[in-house]
Amino acid sequence: MKVVVQTDKLDPYQAITHHETTELESGKHGGVVSFVGTMRDFNDGEDVTAMNLDYYPGMTEKHIEQVCQEAMEGWDVMDVLVVHRAGDVYPSDPIVLVAVWSAHRAAAFDACRYVINYLKERAPFWKCEVTTEGKKHWVEHNSEDPGAAKSRLKSA
Amino acid sequence: MEIDVKFFASLRERMGRTSDKVTLDQPAATVAVVWAKVSSEPMPSNILVAVNKEYTDLNQALKGGDEVAFFPPVTGG
């Protein structure tokens, strides 16, 4: 299990390949399921040109590690990798990668969804958007209702 | 005892600083006492609290060297 929060640009596909070749035993896993979140150029009807992602160094990583640990205990998976951007990001930049390796696909899909849903709901990140008019504003809440995410997960 | 205080996101801008250090004389002082030291206003109801990087609330008792963080609801990745 590996969790990284970085201000450097993220190449999610290179990160998957690198982790798989350096951390996983060849031939043992049956697949990898990944979710890559990228930045949209719109939010709540406004055009967004840039975003700053604030986080709490130490607490944010610790929190994501706890969620990954829950996923490792909840499903039969071999490894979990999370890389999250912080700092200044721009439209189409990858912001988050969740990758899960397992012997069979069902566990990897479920664990990946668990990690990304809870990460978006509880991990200490704060978005500050810059609109085309140059206005800066802090996003007050996540666009996806956490309660809804939780109930979908339960019904899955 | 000395307590390290941190502020994040919109609250950091509102407080005009990223961190603070407060000295408390009371034994078993709580997070609420720390807030009263850093701000003359009541804590906004949506503000979250962490002590030593774990979520908690205003009633948590503190010990010297604890790190207390105040921040608005998280907006995820």
Instruction: Give B69's contacts in chain A (Cβ within 8 Å).
Output: 56, 59
Does B53 contact chain A (CB < 8 Å)?
Answer: yes
Q: What is the mean pLDDT of residues B25-48?
A: 92
Verify whether the Cβ–Cβ distance B71 to A124 is below 8 Å: yes
* CB hemisphere CA count around A14 (13 angstroms): 4
pLDDT at B28 over 60: yes
* CB hemisphere CA count around A134 (13 angstroms): 0
CATH number of the domain that residue B14 is part of? 3.10.20.30
Residues 6 or more apart from B21 whose CB is under 8 A from it? B2, B3, B4, B5
Smallest Cβ–Cβ distance between A125 and the set B12, B50, B75 belongs to B75
Decide: helix, strand or coil at residue A138: strand
Domain that holds residue A14: 2-155
Residues 6 or more apart from A31 whose CB is under 8 A from it? A101, A102, A104, A105, A108
Q: What is the mean pLDDT of chain B?
A: 93
Q: What's the pLDDT score for residue A143?
A: 43
- Our count of domains for chain A comes to 1
Q: What's the pLDDT score for residue A122?
A: 79
Decide: helix, strand or coil at residue A26: coil
d(CA A139, CA B56): 23
Residue B16 domain flag:
yes
Q: What pairs with residue B48 in β-bridges?
A: B71
Residue B77 domain flag:
no
Q: What's the pLDDT score for residue A44?
A: 72
Residue B12 domain flag:
yes
Does B9 contact chain A (CB < 8 Å)?
Answer: yes
CATH number of the domain that residue A110 is part of? 3.90.1170.40
- Our count of domains for chain B comes to 1
Residues of chain A with pLDDT under 50: 143-156
CB distance A113 to A142 below 8 Å: no
Q: What's the pLDDT score for residue B26?
A: 79
Residue B25 domain flag:
yes
Domain that holds residue B45: 2-71
